[in-house]
Amino acid sequence: DTGVSQNPRHKITKRGQNVTFRCDPISEHNRLYWYRQTLGQGPEFLTYFQNEAQLEKSRLLSDRFSAERPKGSFSTLEIQRTEQGDSAMYLCASSQGPSSPLHFGNGTRLTVT
């Protein structure tokens, strides 16, 4: 069990640029979640997958955000035309099933200048 892996650890980008993050979950976990966390707040739900199917996307999420999990293994989160308000820690987590505990990765810290 190598845990949940996220890349990159840090990303600094200029406003208007596109960024893509990758998450490799624990291999036998079929659920994969993306959360966003800002300082002093709890993780905010973005989207989640059951295998390759995206089950739900937060209504707070703009169309600039898209996520994929093409083969039911790793996942990518893309943010198009980044804005300063997108600056946050993006956390990926995986679990064995619907009510199973989440295993988080170390996150990708995005800074938009």
Partner 1 sequence: GQQVMQIPQYQHVQEGEDFTTYCNSSTTLSNIQWYKQRPGGHPVFLIQLVKSGEVKKQKRLTFQFGEAKKNSSLHITATQTTDVGTYFCAGGDAGGTSYGKLTFGQGTILTVHP
Give the interface with partner 1 as residue ranges (CB under 8 A): 31, 33, 35, 40-45, 48, 55-56, 59, 91, 97-107
Query: In angstroms, how far apart are the furthest CA atoms of the chain?
Result: 38
Shortest reach from residue 54's CB to partner 1, in Å: 11
Q: Which one, 17 or 100, has the nearer CB to partner 1?
A: 100
Q: Which one, 38 or 113, has the nearer CB to partner 1?
A: 38
Q: Which one, 25 or 43, has the nearer CB to partner 1?
A: 43
Shortest reach from residue 34's CB to partner 1, in Å: 12
